[in-house]
């Protein structure tokens, strides 16, 4: 991973985490799914959910690097990328699901066919290919949101290889 990109994004991690959560909250509200414990404003959000948003924000540097991109504040002459192509989006969506599963497993969650937050059972702790289309779309949406998120904190993405 590009250490410079990691340092740039570490400084923006909290703002990115809050922006990730705001996007998630807006989507949950639009879908009428307001009963989820994560479907609350950032200030009311539990620490496990905040930490998850921060981890997703910090993972952006690794995702950019794996796909041959980096970011800066626009102070280089390389052309900006406005969106990832579909193969890159799919690669990064699969990577995001793996990251999310590792995070859940590290926090004591296990697979179960029916989700139970109290028991830390989750039905989406399966390989990406086994996810229902709606859940794959969540990972795709997270990837498609990377460039707009970075723009929201004054950064832009460009290809390095």
pLDDT digits (tens, 9 = 90+) for 3-49: 777 777 888 889 999 999 999 899 889 888 888 888 899 999 999 89
- In the chain, what is the straight-line distance between the N-terminal and C-terminal CA atoms, in Å? 13
Helix (H) / strand (E) element for 69: namely strand 69-72
The parent domain of residue 147 ranges over 3-159
Q: What is the Cα–Cα distance from 116 to 118, expressed in whole angstroms?
A: 6
Half-sphere exposure in the Cβ direction for 144 (13 Å, CA)? 11
Helix (H) / strand (E) element for 159: namely strand 156-159
- Residue 114 in this model has a pLDDT that exceeds 80: yes
Q: What is the Cα–Cα distance from 12 to 85, expressed in whole angstroms?
A: 25
Residue 156 near residue 71, CB atoms below 8 Å: yes
- Residue 109 in this model has a pLDDT that exceeds 90: yes
Domain count within the chain: 1
Q: What is the pTM of this model?
A: 0.88
Residue 39 near residue 68, CB atoms below 8 Å: no
Q: What is the Cα–Cα distance from 15 to 145, expressed in whole angstroms?
A: 14
Check residue 7 and give its pLDDT.
79
CATH of the domain at 21: 1.10.490
* Angstrom distances, CA of residue 89 to CA of 32, 50, 67, 147: 27, 25, 9, 11
Average pLDDT of the chain is: 92
Higher pLDDT, 39 or 110: 110
């Amino acid at each position: 991973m590009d250490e410079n990109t990691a340092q740039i994004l570490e400084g923006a991690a909290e703002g990115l985490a809050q922006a990730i959560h705001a996007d998630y909250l807006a989507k949950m509200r639009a879908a009428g799914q307001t009963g989820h414990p994560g479907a609350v404003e950032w200030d009311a959000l539990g620490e496990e959910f905040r930490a998850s948003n921060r981890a997703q924000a910090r993972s952006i540097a690794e995702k950019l690097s794996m796909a041959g991109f980096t970011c800066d504040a626009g102070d280089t002459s390389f052309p900006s990328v406005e969106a990832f192509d579909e193969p890159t989006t799919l690669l990064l969506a699969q990577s995001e699901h793996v990251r999310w599963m590792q995070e859940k497993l590290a926090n004591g969650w296990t697979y179960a066919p029916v989700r139970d937050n109290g028991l830390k059972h989750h039905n989406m702790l399966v390989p990406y290919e086994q996810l229902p289309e709606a859940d794959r779309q969540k990972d795709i949406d997270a990837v498609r949101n990377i460039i707009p998120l970075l723009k929201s904190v004054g950064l832009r993405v460009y290809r390095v290889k």
